[in-house]
Structure 1
Amino acid sequence: MTPAQPGEALQIAFSPCPNDTFVFDAWAHGRVPGAPALDVTFADIDITNAMAERGEGDVLKVSYAVLPYVLDEYALLPCGGALGRGCGPLVLTREPGADLVGRTVAVPSERSTAYLLFRLWAADTVPGRVGEIVVMPFHEIMPAVRDGKVDAGLVIHEARFTYQNYGLVKLADMGEHWEDTTGLPIPLGAILARRSLGEDTLRRLAEAARASVRAAWDDPEASRPYVLEHAQEMDPAVADQHIGLYVNEFTADLGDEGYAAVRGLLTRAAAEGLVPPLGPDALRFP
Protein backbone atom coordinates (compact mmCIF):
# COMPACT_ATOMS: atom_id res chain seq x y z
CA MET A 1 0.00 0.00 0.00
CA THR A 2 1.74 3.16 -1.21
CA PRO A 3 0.95 6.56 0.33
CA ALA A 4 -1.68 8.64 -1.45
CA GLN A 5 -0.48 11.32 -3.83
CA PRO A 6 -2.00 14.81 -3.76
CA GLY A 7 -5.59 14.66 -4.97
CA GLU A 8 -5.88 10.89 -4.46
CA ALA A 9 -7.99 9.09 -1.89
CA LEU A 10 -6.15 8.38 1.35
CA GLN A 11 -5.00 4.80 1.83
CA ILE A 12 -6.63 3.44 5.02
CA ALA A 13 -6.41 -0.05 6.50
CA PHE A 14 -8.55 -1.40 9.30
CA SER A 15 -9.94 -4.76 10.33
CA PRO A 16 -13.20 -6.29 9.08
CA CYS A 17 -14.37 -6.54 12.70
CA PRO A 18 -17.76 -4.97 13.47
CA ASN A 19 -16.40 -2.14 15.62
CA ASP A 20 -14.14 -0.88 12.81
CA THR A 21 -16.71 -1.18 10.02
CA PHE A 22 -19.30 0.50 12.28
CA VAL A 23 -16.93 3.39 13.05
CA PHE A 24 -15.74 3.98 9.48
CA ASP A 25 -18.92 3.21 7.51
CA ALA A 26 -20.13 6.80 7.11
CA TRP A 27 -16.67 8.12 6.20
CA ALA A 28 -15.85 5.27 3.81
CA HIS A 29 -19.15 5.77 1.97
CA GLY A 30 -18.91 9.53 1.57
CA ARG A 31 -21.48 10.45 4.22
CA VAL A 32 -19.16 12.72 6.22
CA PRO A 33 -19.28 16.17 4.59
CA GLY A 34 -15.86 17.57 3.76
CA ALA A 35 -13.96 14.43 4.80
CA PRO A 36 -11.10 13.22 2.59
CA ALA A 37 -11.99 10.27 0.37
CA LEU A 38 -10.77 6.86 1.51
CA ASP A 39 -9.38 3.85 -0.32
CA VAL A 40 -10.09 1.03 2.17
CA THR A 41 -8.03 -2.12 2.68
CA PHE A 42 -9.27 -4.72 5.17
CA ALA A 43 -6.54 -6.41 7.18
CA ASP A 44 -6.22 -8.07 10.57
CA ILE A 45 -4.39 -6.17 13.28
CA ASP A 46 -1.10 -8.07 12.98
CA ILE A 47 -0.97 -7.09 9.31
CA THR A 48 -1.74 -3.42 9.96
CA ASN A 49 0.85 -3.38 12.75
CA ALA A 50 3.45 -4.61 10.28
CA MET A 51 2.28 -2.07 7.70
CA ALA A 52 2.84 0.73 10.21
CA GLU A 53 6.33 -0.54 10.99
CA ARG A 54 7.11 -0.54 7.25
CA GLY A 55 5.61 2.94 6.82
CA GLU A 56 2.83 1.77 4.49
CA GLY A 57 -0.52 3.53 4.27
CA ASP A 58 -1.81 6.94 5.26
CA VAL A 59 -4.25 5.93 8.03
CA LEU A 60 -4.05 2.65 9.95
CA LYS A 61 -5.90 0.91 12.77
CA VAL A 62 -3.18 -0.72 14.87
CA SER A 63 -2.59 -2.11 18.31
CA TYR A 64 -1.47 0.39 20.92
CA ALA A 65 1.45 -1.95 21.55
CA VAL A 66 3.06 -0.97 18.24
CA LEU A 67 3.09 2.77 18.98
CA PRO A 68 6.61 2.95 20.45
CA TYR A 69 7.98 1.63 17.15
CA VAL A 70 6.12 3.92 14.75
CA LEU A 71 5.41 7.30 16.35
CA ASP A 72 8.27 9.01 14.54
CA GLU A 73 6.38 8.53 11.28
CA TYR A 74 2.76 8.35 12.45
CA ALA A 75 0.66 10.47 14.81
CA LEU A 76 -1.93 9.01 17.17
CA LEU A 77 -5.38 10.39 16.37
CA PRO A 78 -7.43 11.27 19.48
CA CYS A 79 -10.48 9.36 18.21
CA GLY A 80 -11.67 6.37 16.19
CA GLY A 81 -9.89 3.68 18.19
CA ALA A 82 -10.88 1.21 20.89
CA LEU A 83 -10.50 1.61 24.64
CA GLY A 84 -12.93 0.51 27.24
CA ARG A 85 -13.83 -1.32 30.39
CA GLY A 86 -14.84 -4.94 30.73
CA CYS A 87 -13.49 -5.70 27.25
CA GLY A 88 -10.03 -7.11 27.81
CA PRO A 89 -8.44 -10.22 26.33
CA LEU A 90 -9.00 -13.57 28.05
CA VAL A 91 -6.70 -16.48 28.82
CA LEU A 92 -8.57 -19.71 28.06
CA THR A 93 -7.77 -23.28 29.08
CA ARG A 94 -9.44 -26.66 28.95
CA GLU A 95 -9.62 -27.04 32.74
CA PRO A 96 -10.42 -24.50 35.48
CA GLY A 97 -7.50 -23.23 37.54
CA ALA A 98 -4.81 -24.50 35.16
CA ASP A 99 -1.19 -23.78 36.09
CA LEU A 100 0.64 -21.93 33.31
CA VAL A 101 4.17 -22.35 34.68
CA GLY A 102 6.21 -23.82 31.83
CA ARG A 103 3.10 -24.23 29.66
CA THR A 104 2.62 -23.37 25.99
CA VAL A 105 0.41 -20.36 25.33
CA ALA A 106 -0.99 -19.34 21.93
CA VAL A 107 -1.24 -15.59 21.28
CA PRO A 108 -2.48 -13.63 18.26
CA SER A 109 0.65 -11.48 18.05
CA GLU A 110 3.63 -10.45 20.12
CA ARG A 111 3.12 -6.87 18.91
CA SER A 112 -0.36 -6.53 20.37
CA THR A 113 -1.94 -4.85 23.35
CA ALA A 114 -3.37 -8.24 24.28
CA TYR A 115 0.14 -9.65 24.54
CA LEU A 116 1.39 -6.74 26.66
CA LEU A 117 -1.57 -7.12 29.02
CA PHE A 118 -0.91 -10.88 29.20
CA ARG A 119 2.76 -10.38 30.02
CA LEU A 120 1.94 -7.78 32.69
CA TRP A 121 -0.65 -10.14 34.18
CA ALA A 122 1.77 -13.08 34.12
CA ALA A 123 4.49 -11.00 35.79
CA ASP A 124 2.09 -10.32 38.67
CA THR A 125 0.30 -13.67 38.99
CA VAL A 126 2.33 -16.57 37.56
CA PRO A 127 4.98 -17.44 40.19
CA GLY A 128 7.23 -19.10 37.60
CA ARG A 129 7.67 -18.28 33.96
CA VAL A 130 5.19 -19.35 31.35
CA GLY A 131 6.68 -21.62 28.73
CA GLU A 132 6.70 -21.31 24.96
CA ILE A 133 4.71 -18.56 23.27
CA VAL A 134 3.17 -19.63 19.95
CA VAL A 135 1.86 -16.97 17.57
CA MET A 136 -1.13 -17.98 15.44
CA PRO A 137 -4.14 -16.25 13.80
CA PHE A 138 -6.69 -15.47 16.49
CA HIS A 139 -9.40 -17.60 14.86
CA GLU A 140 -7.17 -20.68 15.21
CA ILE A 141 -6.44 -20.25 18.91
CA MET A 142 -9.58 -21.68 20.49
CA PRO A 143 -9.54 -24.84 18.33
CA ALA A 144 -5.85 -25.30 19.20
CA VAL A 145 -6.58 -25.12 22.94
CA ARG A 146 -9.61 -27.41 22.58
CA ASP A 147 -7.58 -29.98 20.63
CA GLY A 148 -4.65 -29.95 23.08
CA LYS A 149 -2.16 -28.45 20.62
CA VAL A 150 -1.40 -25.74 23.18
CA ASP A 151 -2.09 -25.51 26.91
CA ALA A 152 -3.73 -22.09 26.90
CA GLY A 153 -4.77 -19.36 24.52
CA LEU A 154 -4.94 -15.59 24.66
CA VAL A 155 -8.10 -14.52 22.82
CA ILE A 156 -9.57 -11.23 21.70
CA HIS A 157 -12.64 -9.81 19.94
CA GLU A 158 -15.79 -11.91 19.69
CA ALA A 159 -14.08 -14.89 21.35
CA ARG A 160 -15.24 -13.31 24.62
CA PHE A 161 -18.75 -14.38 23.65
CA THR A 162 -18.09 -17.73 21.97
CA TYR A 163 -15.34 -19.58 23.87
CA GLN A 164 -17.80 -21.78 25.74
CA ASN A 165 -18.86 -23.24 22.39
CA TYR A 166 -15.40 -24.82 22.26
CA GLY A 167 -15.71 -26.36 25.72
CA LEU A 168 -13.14 -23.95 27.14
CA VAL A 169 -13.03 -22.07 30.43
CA LYS A 170 -11.77 -18.62 31.32
CA LEU A 171 -8.60 -18.80 33.40
CA ALA A 172 -8.22 -15.03 33.71
CA ASP A 173 -9.43 -11.74 32.25
CA MET A 174 -6.51 -9.48 31.34
CA GLY A 175 -8.77 -6.44 31.33
CA GLU A 176 -10.00 -7.09 34.86
CA HIS A 177 -6.41 -7.34 36.07
CA TRP A 178 -5.48 -4.11 34.29
CA GLU A 179 -8.48 -2.22 35.65
CA ASP A 180 -8.02 -3.58 39.18
CA THR A 181 -4.35 -2.57 39.29
CA THR A 182 -4.58 0.79 37.52
CA GLY A 183 -8.20 2.00 37.64
CA LEU A 184 -7.81 2.94 33.97
CA PRO A 185 -9.67 1.80 30.84
CA ILE A 186 -8.05 -0.84 28.64
CA PRO A 187 -6.20 0.51 25.57
CA LEU A 188 -6.79 -1.84 22.64
CA GLY A 189 -6.72 -0.37 19.13
CA ALA A 190 -5.39 2.99 17.93
CA ILE A 191 -5.89 5.06 14.77
CA LEU A 192 -2.67 6.43 13.31
CA ALA A 193 -2.11 8.88 10.45
CA ARG A 194 1.08 9.72 8.61
CA ARG A 195 2.72 12.85 10.05
CA SER A 196 3.91 13.93 6.60
CA LEU A 197 0.28 14.66 5.66
CA GLY A 198 0.68 17.86 7.68
CA GLU A 199 -1.00 19.24 10.77
CA ASP A 200 -4.03 20.68 8.96
CA THR A 201 -4.79 17.34 7.31
CA LEU A 202 -4.27 15.46 10.57
CA ARG A 203 -6.85 17.69 12.24
CA ARG A 204 -9.27 17.09 9.33
CA LEU A 205 -8.78 13.35 9.69
CA ALA A 206 -9.53 13.49 13.40
CA GLU A 207 -12.66 15.55 12.74
CA ALA A 208 -13.76 13.07 10.05
CA ALA A 209 -13.22 10.06 12.30
CA ARG A 210 -15.17 11.68 15.11
CA ALA A 211 -18.00 12.66 12.76
CA SER A 212 -18.13 9.11 11.37
CA VAL A 213 -18.48 7.68 14.88
CA ARG A 214 -21.29 10.08 15.71
CA ALA A 215 -23.06 9.33 12.42
CA ALA A 216 -22.97 5.62 13.26
CA TRP A 217 -24.48 6.29 16.68
CA ASP A 218 -27.16 8.57 15.21
CA ASP A 219 -28.27 5.97 12.65
CA PRO A 220 -26.98 2.48 13.57
CA GLU A 221 -29.02 0.79 10.85
CA ALA A 222 -27.19 2.71 8.12
CA SER A 223 -23.95 0.85 8.91
CA ARG A 224 -25.53 -2.58 9.31
CA PRO A 225 -25.06 -3.85 5.72
CA TYR A 226 -21.37 -2.85 5.78
CA VAL A 227 -20.86 -4.41 9.22
CA LEU A 228 -22.49 -7.73 8.35
CA GLU A 229 -20.89 -7.91 4.89
CA HIS A 230 -17.45 -8.03 6.51
CA ALA A 231 -18.29 -9.80 9.78
CA GLN A 232 -16.98 -13.19 8.60
CA GLU A 233 -20.35 -14.96 9.00
CA MET A 234 -20.66 -13.68 12.56
CA ASP A 235 -24.10 -13.93 14.12
CA PRO A 236 -25.72 -10.46 13.93
CA ALA A 237 -26.40 -10.52 17.68
CA VAL A 238 -22.70 -11.17 18.37
CA ALA A 239 -21.79 -8.34 15.99
CA ASP A 240 -24.05 -6.02 18.01
CA GLN A 241 -22.40 -7.14 21.26
CA HIS A 242 -19.00 -6.54 19.69
CA ILE A 243 -19.92 -2.98 18.71
CA GLY A 244 -21.47 -2.28 22.10
CA LEU A 245 -18.30 -3.39 23.86
CA TYR A 246 -15.66 -1.65 21.76
CA VAL A 247 -17.33 1.55 20.51
CA ASN A 248 -17.84 4.02 23.36
CA GLU A 249 -17.02 7.52 24.53
CA PHE A 250 -13.28 6.88 24.11
CA THR A 251 -13.88 6.16 20.42
CA ALA A 252 -15.21 9.69 20.01
CA ASP A 253 -12.45 11.26 22.13
CA LEU A 254 -9.59 9.71 24.09
CA GLY A 255 -9.71 12.52 26.64
CA ASP A 256 -7.38 12.79 29.62
CA GLU A 257 -8.33 9.35 30.94
CA GLY A 258 -7.75 7.68 27.60
CA TYR A 259 -4.33 9.24 27.16
CA ALA A 260 -3.44 8.26 30.73
CA ALA A 261 -4.39 4.67 29.95
CA VAL A 262 -2.25 4.58 26.81
CA ARG A 263 0.78 6.10 28.48
CA GLY A 264 0.27 3.88 31.55
CA LEU A 265 0.23 0.70 29.47
CA LEU A 266 3.29 1.60 27.44
CA THR A 267 5.22 2.88 30.47
CA ARG A 268 4.56 -0.35 32.40
CA ALA A 269 5.44 -2.43 29.35
CA ALA A 270 8.69 -0.52 28.87
CA ALA A 271 9.57 -1.11 32.53
CA GLU A 272 9.21 -4.86 31.86
CA GLY A 273 11.44 -4.58 28.79
CA LEU A 274 8.56 -5.39 26.42
CA VAL A 275 8.66 -2.18 24.33
CA PRO A 276 11.02 0.79 23.91
CA PRO A 277 10.27 3.75 26.23
CA LEU A 278 8.08 6.58 24.94
CA GLY A 279 9.43 10.10 24.61
CA PRO A 280 7.67 12.81 26.65
CA ASP A 281 5.86 14.26 23.60
CA ALA A 282 5.33 11.02 21.68
CA LEU A 283 1.54 11.03 22.05
CA ARG A 284 1.08 14.74 21.31
CA PHE A 285 -1.48 15.58 18.61
CA PRO A 286 -0.95 16.81 15.97
Structure 2
Amino acid sequence: MKLTLGFSPCPNDTFIFDALIHHKIDTEGLDFEVFFDDVETLNQKAFRGELDITKLSFHAFAHVCGQYALLDAGSALGFGVGPLLICKKEALLAEAENLDPKLKVGIPGKFTTANFLLGIAFPHLADKQEMIFSEIEDALIHEKIDLGLIIHENRFTYSEKGLYKIIDLGSYWEQLTGCAIPLGGIVINRNLDYSVQEKVNRLLRKSVEFAFAHPKSGLDFIKAHAQEMSEEVMYKHIELYVNKYSIDLGTEGRMAIDVLFKMAQERGVIKALTQNIYFRP
Protein backbone atom coordinates (compact mmCIF):
# COMPACT_ATOMS: atom_id res chain seq x y z
CA MET A 1 0.00 0.00 0.00
CA LYS A 2 1.42 3.38 -1.03
CA LEU A 3 0.56 6.54 0.89
CA THR A 4 1.37 10.15 0.04
CA LEU A 5 3.51 11.86 2.66
CA GLY A 6 4.49 15.51 2.96
CA PHE A 7 7.12 17.05 5.20
CA SER A 8 9.60 19.90 5.11
CA PRO A 9 13.23 19.65 3.96
CA CYS A 10 14.34 20.97 7.36
CA PRO A 11 16.78 18.80 9.35
CA ASN A 12 14.28 17.94 12.08
CA ASP A 13 11.85 16.43 9.56
CA THR A 14 14.43 14.65 7.42
CA PHE A 15 15.98 13.26 10.61
CA ILE A 16 12.59 11.92 11.76
CA PHE A 17 11.47 10.42 8.44
CA ASP A 18 14.76 9.06 7.10
CA ALA A 19 14.41 5.54 8.50
CA LEU A 20 10.76 5.32 7.47
CA ILE A 21 11.04 6.35 3.83
CA HIS A 22 14.37 4.57 3.25
CA HIS A 23 13.14 1.30 4.79
CA LYS A 24 15.74 1.23 7.54
CA ILE A 25 12.90 -0.14 9.63
CA ASP A 26 10.30 -2.71 8.61
CA THR A 27 7.48 -0.66 7.09
CA GLU A 28 5.04 -3.56 7.32
CA GLY A 29 3.98 -3.42 3.69
CA LEU A 30 3.61 0.37 3.48
CA ASP A 31 5.44 2.52 0.97
CA PHE A 32 5.46 6.30 0.70
CA GLU A 33 5.39 8.87 -2.09
CA VAL A 34 7.19 11.83 -0.54
CA PHE A 35 6.62 15.55 -1.14
CA PHE A 36 9.09 18.09 0.26
CA ASP A 37 7.56 21.52 0.88
CA ASP A 38 7.87 24.46 3.25
CA VAL A 39 5.41 24.50 6.13
CA GLU A 40 2.95 26.95 4.59
CA THR A 41 2.78 24.98 1.34
CA LEU A 42 2.07 21.87 3.40
CA ASN A 43 -0.62 23.78 5.27
CA GLN A 44 -2.28 24.73 1.98
CA LYS A 45 -2.08 21.15 0.70
CA ALA A 46 -3.80 20.03 3.90
CA PHE A 47 -6.57 22.57 3.33
CA ARG A 48 -7.11 20.92 -0.05
CA GLY A 49 -6.86 17.41 1.42
CA GLU A 50 -4.14 16.44 -1.06
CA LEU A 51 -1.98 14.19 1.14
CA ASP A 52 -2.62 11.06 3.18
CA ILE A 53 -0.08 12.06 5.83
CA THR A 54 1.49 15.46 6.30
CA LYS A 55 3.43 17.72 8.59
CA LEU A 56 1.61 20.98 9.25
CA SER A 57 1.51 23.78 11.78
CA PHE A 58 -0.83 23.38 14.73
CA HIS A 59 -2.52 26.64 13.79
CA ALA A 60 -3.39 25.21 10.37
CA PHE A 61 -4.43 21.90 11.90
CA ALA A 62 -7.21 23.64 13.80
CA HIS A 63 -8.81 24.40 10.41
CA VAL A 64 -8.59 20.84 9.02
CA CYS A 65 -9.13 18.61 12.04
CA GLY A 66 -12.40 17.43 10.52
CA GLN A 67 -10.43 15.74 7.75
CA TYR A 68 -7.16 14.94 9.51
CA ALA A 69 -6.31 13.48 12.91
CA LEU A 70 -3.11 14.13 14.88
CA LEU A 71 -0.71 11.24 15.33
CA ASP A 72 1.03 10.68 18.66
CA ALA A 73 4.45 10.50 17.00
CA GLY A 74 6.42 13.02 14.96
CA SER A 75 5.35 16.33 16.49
CA ALA A 76 7.63 19.29 17.14
CA LEU A 77 7.07 20.70 20.63
CA GLY A 78 9.55 21.95 23.14
CA PHE A 79 11.00 24.66 25.29
CA GLY A 80 13.30 27.30 23.82
CA VAL A 81 12.26 26.44 20.28
CA GLY A 82 9.88 29.24 19.42
CA PRO A 83 9.90 31.69 16.52
CA LEU A 84 11.87 34.91 16.85
CA LEU A 85 10.82 38.41 15.86
CA ILE A 86 13.90 40.14 14.47
CA CYS A 87 14.85 43.46 12.85
CA LYS A 88 17.69 45.16 11.01
CA LYS A 89 17.47 48.56 12.67
CA GLU A 90 18.92 48.40 16.16
CA ALA A 91 16.81 51.40 17.21
CA LEU A 92 13.70 49.19 17.12
CA LEU A 93 15.00 47.21 20.09
CA ALA A 94 14.23 50.15 22.36
CA GLU A 95 10.64 50.15 21.06
CA ALA A 96 10.08 46.41 21.60
CA GLU A 97 7.16 46.89 23.99
CA ASN A 98 5.48 49.53 21.83
CA LEU A 99 6.15 48.67 18.21
CA ASP A 100 4.61 50.99 15.61
CA PRO A 101 1.57 49.28 14.02
CA LYS A 102 2.70 50.63 10.64
CA LEU A 103 5.75 48.38 10.62
CA LYS A 104 5.69 45.74 7.90
CA VAL A 105 6.31 42.20 9.13
CA GLY A 106 7.55 39.33 7.01
CA ILE A 107 5.88 36.11 8.18
CA PRO A 108 6.40 32.48 7.10
CA GLY A 109 2.68 32.01 6.44
CA LYS A 110 -0.70 33.14 7.68
CA PHE A 111 -1.54 29.78 9.21
CA THR A 112 1.80 29.06 10.86
CA THR A 113 1.90 28.70 14.61
CA ALA A 114 4.56 31.41 14.49
CA ASN A 115 2.04 33.90 13.14
CA PHE A 116 -0.49 32.83 15.75
CA LEU A 117 2.01 33.56 18.53
CA LEU A 118 2.84 36.90 16.94
CA GLY A 119 -0.87 37.73 17.05
CA ILE A 120 -1.01 36.95 20.76
CA ALA A 121 2.04 39.05 21.63
CA PHE A 122 1.55 41.91 19.14
CA PRO A 123 -2.08 41.94 17.97
CA HIS A 124 -1.66 45.45 16.56
CA LEU A 125 0.97 44.40 14.00
CA ALA A 126 -1.41 43.85 11.09
CA ASP A 127 0.73 44.79 8.07
CA LYS A 128 2.04 41.34 7.25
CA GLN A 129 3.70 39.99 4.13
CA GLU A 130 3.75 36.24 3.61
CA MET A 131 6.96 34.76 2.23
CA ILE A 132 9.01 31.58 2.23
CA PHE A 133 10.62 31.33 5.67
CA SER A 134 14.14 31.13 4.20
CA GLU A 135 13.68 34.48 2.40
CA ILE A 136 12.79 36.57 5.45
CA GLU A 137 16.34 37.40 6.53
CA ASP A 138 17.31 38.70 3.08
CA ALA A 139 14.09 40.72 2.88
CA LEU A 140 15.07 42.40 6.14
CA ILE A 141 18.63 43.02 4.98
CA HIS A 142 17.36 44.69 1.81
CA GLU A 143 14.75 46.61 3.85
CA LYS A 144 11.75 45.22 2.00
CA ILE A 145 10.22 44.63 5.45
CA ASP A 146 10.79 46.20 8.87
CA LEU A 147 10.42 43.10 11.04
CA GLY A 148 10.90 39.42 10.35
CA LEU A 149 9.29 36.41 11.99
CA ILE A 150 11.80 33.59 11.66
CA ILE A 151 11.54 29.86 12.29
CA HIS A 152 13.61 26.71 11.80
CA GLU A 153 17.37 27.05 11.18
CA ASN A 154 17.20 30.82 10.67
CA ARG A 155 17.22 31.27 14.44
CA PHE A 156 20.88 30.16 14.25
CA THR A 157 21.93 32.44 11.41
CA TYR A 158 20.27 35.85 11.82
CA SER A 159 22.88 37.36 14.17
CA GLU A 160 25.71 36.48 11.77
CA LYS A 161 23.94 38.66 9.20
CA GLY A 162 23.85 41.71 11.47
CA LEU A 163 20.20 41.29 12.47
CA TYR A 164 18.77 41.75 15.97
CA LYS A 165 16.30 39.80 18.11
CA ILE A 166 13.33 41.79 19.42
CA ILE A 167 11.62 38.91 21.21
CA ASP A 168 11.68 35.14 21.44
CA LEU A 169 7.98 34.28 21.07
CA GLY A 170 8.63 30.79 22.38
CA SER A 171 9.87 32.19 25.69
CA TYR A 172 6.88 34.54 25.70
CA TRP A 173 4.53 31.56 25.31
CA GLU A 174 6.31 29.55 28.00
CA GLN A 175 6.05 32.39 30.51
CA LEU A 176 2.39 32.90 29.63
CA THR A 177 1.32 29.25 29.88
CA GLY A 178 4.08 27.17 31.48
CA CYS A 179 3.66 24.72 28.58
CA ALA A 180 5.96 23.52 25.84
CA ILE A 181 5.35 25.38 22.61
CA PRO A 182 3.49 23.32 19.98
CA LEU A 183 4.94 24.12 16.56
CA GLY A 184 4.00 21.38 14.14
CA GLY A 185 2.48 17.93 14.10
CA ILE A 186 2.02 14.94 11.81
CA VAL A 187 -1.57 14.34 10.79
CA ILE A 188 -3.25 11.54 8.88
CA ASN A 189 -6.38 11.50 6.76
CA ARG A 190 -9.36 10.25 8.76
CA ASN A 191 -10.68 8.42 5.68
CA LEU A 192 -7.92 5.84 6.01
CA ASP A 193 -8.78 2.71 7.98
CA TYR A 194 -7.98 3.07 11.65
CA SER A 195 -5.67 0.06 11.35
CA VAL A 196 -3.63 2.02 8.79
CA GLN A 197 -3.57 5.12 10.99
CA GLU A 198 -2.35 3.01 13.89
CA LYS A 199 0.30 1.35 11.74
CA VAL A 200 1.60 4.70 10.44
CA ASN A 201 1.81 6.04 13.99
CA ARG A 202 3.69 2.93 15.12
CA LEU A 203 6.12 3.10 12.19
CA LEU A 204 6.71 6.82 12.66
CA ARG A 205 7.57 6.24 16.30
CA LYS A 206 10.01 3.49 15.27
CA SER A 207 11.54 5.85 12.71
CA VAL A 208 12.15 8.51 15.38
CA GLU A 209 13.56 5.93 17.78
CA PHE A 210 15.87 4.61 15.03
CA ALA A 211 17.08 8.16 14.36
CA PHE A 212 17.88 8.69 18.04
CA ALA A 213 19.71 5.36 18.19
CA HIS A 214 21.64 6.03 14.95
CA PRO A 215 21.89 9.85 14.73
CA LYS A 216 24.36 9.88 11.83
CA SER A 217 22.54 7.27 9.77
CA GLY A 218 20.59 9.84 7.78
CA LEU A 219 23.37 12.43 7.52
CA ASP A 220 23.63 12.35 3.71
CA PHE A 221 19.85 12.61 3.35
CA ILE A 222 19.65 15.47 5.86
CA LYS A 223 22.54 17.31 4.18
CA ALA A 224 21.01 16.91 0.74
CA HIS A 225 17.95 18.91 1.81
CA ALA A 226 19.45 21.34 4.35
CA GLN A 227 19.98 24.93 3.28
CA GLU A 228 23.71 25.48 3.25
CA MET A 229 24.03 24.47 6.87
CA SER A 230 27.12 23.11 8.54
CA GLU A 231 26.78 19.71 10.18
CA GLU A 232 27.01 21.40 13.58
CA VAL A 233 24.07 23.72 12.80
CA MET A 234 22.03 20.84 11.38
CA TYR A 235 22.34 18.86 14.58
CA LYS A 236 21.67 21.92 16.76
CA HIS A 237 18.46 22.30 14.78
CA ILE A 238 17.58 18.64 15.33
CA GLU A 239 18.32 18.81 19.06
CA LEU A 240 15.91 21.74 19.41
CA TYR A 241 12.96 20.30 17.54
CA VAL A 242 13.21 16.52 18.00
CA ASN A 243 12.71 15.29 21.55
CA LYS A 244 10.49 13.09 23.73
CA TYR A 245 7.36 14.71 22.28
CA SER A 246 8.46 13.52 18.83
CA ILE A 247 8.36 9.92 20.04
CA ASP A 248 5.03 10.33 21.80
CA LEU A 249 3.05 13.44 22.74
CA GLY A 250 2.14 12.04 26.13
CA THR A 251 -0.01 13.89 28.64
CA GLU A 252 2.21 17.00 28.68
CA GLY A 253 2.30 17.33 24.91
CA ARG A 254 -1.44 16.95 24.55
CA MET A 255 -2.00 19.50 27.31
CA ALA A 256 0.19 22.06 25.51
CA ILE A 257 -1.77 21.56 22.29
CA ASP A 258 -5.09 21.79 24.10
CA VAL A 259 -4.01 25.06 25.77
CA LEU A 260 -2.96 26.48 22.40
CA PHE A 261 -6.32 25.65 20.84
CA LYS A 262 -8.27 26.87 23.86
CA MET A 263 -6.47 30.20 23.75
CA ALA A 264 -6.98 30.46 19.99
CA GLN A 265 -10.72 29.87 20.42
CA GLU A 266 -11.00 32.41 23.25
CA ARG A 267 -9.30 35.05 21.09
CA GLY A 268 -11.46 34.29 18.08
CA VAL A 269 -8.52 33.08 15.99
CA ILE A 270 -10.21 29.73 15.30
CA LYS A 271 -13.73 28.39 15.64
CA ALA A 272 -14.67 26.05 18.46
CA LEU A 273 -13.47 22.50 17.81
CA THR A 274 -16.31 20.01 17.93
CA GLN A 275 -14.45 16.71 17.72
CA ASN A 276 -11.47 14.89 19.15
CA ILE A 277 -8.38 16.13 17.32
CA TYR A 278 -6.27 13.04 18.02
CA PHE A 279 -6.31 9.87 15.95
CA ARG A 280 -6.58 7.92 19.16
CA PRO A 281 -8.93 8.97 22.00
Q: TM-score, normalised by structure 2?
A: 0.94
SS at match of 2:138: helix
Alignment of 1:92-241 (within 5 A): 92-94=86-88, 95=90, 96-98=93-95, 99-102=98-101, 103-123=103-123, 129-241=124-236
SS at match of 2:152: coil
CA distance in 2, matches of 1:220, 1:282: 31
State the partner residue of 1:65.
Answer: 59
Alpha-carbon deviation of 1:280?
A: 5.0
State the partner residue of 1:248.
Answer: 243
Alpha-carbon deviation of 1:233?
A: 2.2
- Whether the 8 Å CA contact 2:82–2:181 is kept in 1: the answer is yes
SS at match of 1:55: coil
CA distance in 2, matches of 1:147, 1:164: 15
SS at match of 1:91: strand
State the partner residue of 1:274.
Answer: 269
CA distance in 2, matches of 1:192, 1:108: 20
Alpha-carbon deviation of 1:160?
A: 1.0
What is the number of equivalent residue pairs in this alignment? Answer: 274
Letter paired with 1:250? Y
Alpha-carbon deviation of 1:146?
A: 2.1
CA distance in 1, matches of 2:232, 2:279: 38
Letter paired with 1:101? D
Percent of residue pairs identical: 38
CA distance in 2, matches of 1:253, 1:78: 5
CA distance in 1, matches of 2:275, 2:197: 20
What runs of 5+ residues in structure 1 fail to find an aligned partner?
A: 1-6, 124-128
Q: Does 1:86 align with 2:83?
A: no
Alpha-carbon deviation of 1:100?
A: 2.1
What runs of 5+ residues in structure 2 fail to find an aligned partner?
A: none
Q: After alignment, is 26-35 or 242-251 more displaced?
A: 26-35
Q: After alignment, is 146-155 or 209-218 more displaced?
A: 146-155
Q: TM-score, normalised by structure 1?
A: 0.92
CA distance in 2, matches of 1:170, 1:114: 15
Deviation above 3 Å: which 4+ runs of structure 1?
none
Q: After alignment, is 254-263 or 141-150 more displaced?
A: 141-150
CA distance in 2, matches of 1:282, 1:11: 21
CA distance in 2, matches of 1:195, 1:114: 26
SS at match of 1:80: coil
